[in-house]
Structure 1
Amino acid sequence: MSMSRENDAKLRTLSAFLKIYPSSRLDEEGLTIYLLMLADVSAAELSVAMQKIAQHNKFFPAVSEILDTVKQLRQLINPASRTPSADEAWYEVMSQIQQAYPYKQPSFSTPEIRKAVHYIGWSMICETPAGDMSIVRAHFRDIYQNMLQRRKDEQETRAILAALPAGKKGDIVRRALAAKTM
């Protein structure tokens, strides 16, 4: 499906759902912004997400609600893409303590878990007394959640940049890089 047809299909979906949310004040300009913000969402994903949202929301959903629902749908279709929660990540760390202890290289399912363990120190985690493990767990959780937030922010920024027209994208990237060097 071409980009124009894809956007037409998305626009039809959003417009159709406006009819079940009569109090929404979303106009043509607002719908254009929705299309821009939902650039990496397919028309089919948008349709399914809107159907799911309509079952629970009393008001037209914000872009963030649609994106969160699409993410949930994608994870349901492809469980391997699911990001472990902080508790699941900690469970992986505890499992690796039993399997690898400090003498073997631990193996983790995501780079974020691996990096969080690295920042704390594998041997420190392994050698922490049981009574102090809750402190290490809290420290791990904070580092891990910060890394997940950073990854999410980077993905959102990449999606926004990818949706911009080529000329503007280059200008924004150049300005961002120039600001970093100052």
Structure 2
Amino acid sequence: MEQNLDILRQEIVDKSLEAFREGLFSGTSGNMSCRVAPDEMLITPTSVRYDMLRAQDIVRMKLDGTVLEGKLQPSSEWRMHAAVYKAYGETNAVFHTHSPYATAFAVVRKSIPAVLIESCIFLGGDIRCADYAAPGTEAVGTNAIPALKDRGGCTLANHGVLAVGKDLAQAYLRAEYIEDVARIYTYAKSIGTPVTLDTL
């Protein structure tokens, strides 16, 4: 099992660095986790720049907050990750970003319309905005649960983006698509009236 955990730790580091370079993360904002047992997860630590993150920095913890391995403190949003895992048994990875276009929708508290086929294939349709909750509280996750129903992600009001998946690769891909759809919708709106797929 330790070998598998080491592989997952490195995958989290690699995906985090990729997100940092692509602009999905900035500074120390955002976080990523994966479930390693029904009640355990690996999660990025708090306050570490992603271009300096190492595999040994990844924290192993229970969903109740008990830290099992790691010298650093887990992400301040660990409660959000735990709430999603408890609500959705099929979810094994959670990715929280502050990607700019999708977060802009979160700031105005509007859904991201399904204007691309990727919205339907990979995300399940439009991306809903979860009700606001103070960052770092369990309510962030609790509020996200209904917004995630039948979707690959949601936005968090005045906060950022949450993408989920069966594994880290799927959660990451969905986070990329959420940002892509938000950006393209914004561009399209500057030209004319975007046509959503549910109106075709």
**TM-score (ref. length: structure 1):** 0.26
Q: Give the TM-score of the pair, scaled to structure 2.
A: 0.25
Give the structure with the higher percent strand.
2
Report the structure number with the largest CA radius of gyration.
1
Higher share in helix: 1
